[in-house]
Amino acid sequence: MNRDVPITYGGGLYDRTTALHTGEVRPVGIDLSYLPLPIEDLFWRQGKYHEFDAAEYSFGAYLASVEDPAWAYTAIPVFPSRVFRHSAIYVRAGSGIDTAARLAGTSVGTPEWSQTGSLWARGILSEYYGVDLASIRWRTGGLQHAGRQEKSRVQPPQGIAVQALEPGQTLQQALLDGQIDALITARPPAAFIEGHPGIRRLFPDYRQEEGRYYESTGIFPIMHVVIVRKSLLQEYPWLANNLRAAFEAARRPAAGQLIDSAVCSTSLIWEASYAEEERARFGDPFVYGVEENRPTLEALCRYAHQQGFTSKPLAPEDLFFPTTLTSAKV
């Protein structure tokens, strides 16, 4: 009697993955246990303890480990989380920093050098806005809680100075106190959400700026990737594409549900209007696959090498389980 292979998956819960969590979509040959977890908790547990057979994972942390033959996981081209990161750059009010160029020569904090949002923001600042990353004094630490540590052993390249905050310090307080001038963080500082006058975004109209960036580059940044335990793929190599197919089957209906104006599937009043506008501008922005995302993946590989995540420039093909690089054509 054939039995499905039991797989425990840790991940965030999105409209693109809900059908996997509810069991409405079932991967062929796989008994999937989907455990929804907060992202910071998930990445810490997966990076430090390897708790899950498959998991949503920081793309930056994955890139920092992909060249290590002892690393127990490999990726499939499924990207649960994608976000433009111009909105993730905050500056201290009164600092005089009103353009990206003015970040040169300042002190900038970020929770982890390996945080994917920070990796993208730094790459965009350097390549798109011409900011010299080596001119910046980089500080790392917890955003709201002191003591945050890197999940990956990333070595910033020679010439780029990265120093942890002093014990007991947080990035938010360091910004408010003037110890740092700016902050790159995927999660907004609590003080900013609460309307503190001492913090503002570098790009107040970040949607407009992100739109210009997309129209110029065709890039919609990828934040997270799905990783699978190598030992499982060695025993059951078909798992990779069956998982990928299941994630795709769960993803496809999500955009259509947003465009259905008969009901609001979220608490956004004009969600259908927003969805129609985005589809007209971006097409299918959350599409999976290597070829479908080549410009974005190539940029990420480029930034990763420039910032010390990888020892050499990698190609997108170097990142994923080989059988998932192509798909059947009908």
Contact between 244 and 327 (Cβ < 8 Å): no
Query: CB-based burial of residue 262 (10 Å sphere; 0-12 exposed, 13-18 middle, 19+ buried)?
Result: exposed
In angstroms, rounded to a whole number, what is the distance separating the alpha carbons of residues 88 and 120?
10
pTM of the model: 0.94
Does the pLDDT value for residue 1 go beyond 70? Answer: no
Contact between 203 and 209 (Cβ < 8 Å): yes
Does the pLDDT value for residue 154 go beyond 90? Answer: no
The string of pLDDT tens digits covering residues 6-35 is 999 999 999 999 999 999 999 999 999 999
- Cα dihedral 73, 78, 81, 82 in deg (nearest 10): 120
Residue type, 266: T
In sequence order, the β-bridge partners of residue 183 are 90, 109
Q: Three-state DSSP class for 76? A: strand
pLDDT at 146 (0 to 100): 82
Q: How many CA atoms lie within 13 A of 232 on its CB side?
A: 23
The string of pLDDT tens digits covering residues 270-320 is 999 999 999 999 999 999 999 999 999 999 999 999 999 999 999 999 999
Residue type, 189: P
For residue 188, what are its two tokens?
Answer: 């907004």
- The domains found in the chain, sorted by start residue, are 5-82+222-324 (3.40.190.10), 86-217 (3.40.190.10)
Contact between 196 and 84 (Cβ < 8 Å): no
- CA torsion sign, 246 to 288 to 7 to 328? positive
Q: Three-state DSSP class for 297? A: helix
**E strand intervals along 214-275:** 224-229
The string of pLDDT tens digits covering residues 155-214 is 888 899 999 898 889 999 999 999 999 999 999 999 999 999 999 999 999 999 999 999
Distance set, CA 88 to CA 40, 84, 222, 253, 264 (Å): 16, 8, 14, 29, 28
Contact between 271 and 264 (Cβ < 8 Å): yes
Does the pLDDT value for residue 2 go beyond 70? Answer: no
In sequence order, the β-bridge partners of residue 296 are none
Across 150-159, 216-225, 271-280, least confident range = 150-159
3-state SS of the chain: helix, strand, coil percent to 5? Answer: 40, 15, 45
Q: Three-state DSSP class for 149? A: coil
Q: What distance, in Å, lies between the first and last C-alpha atoms of the chain?
A: 32
The string of pLDDT tens digits covering residues 34-92 is 999 999 999 999 999 999 999 999 999 999 999 999 999 999 999 999 999 999 999 99
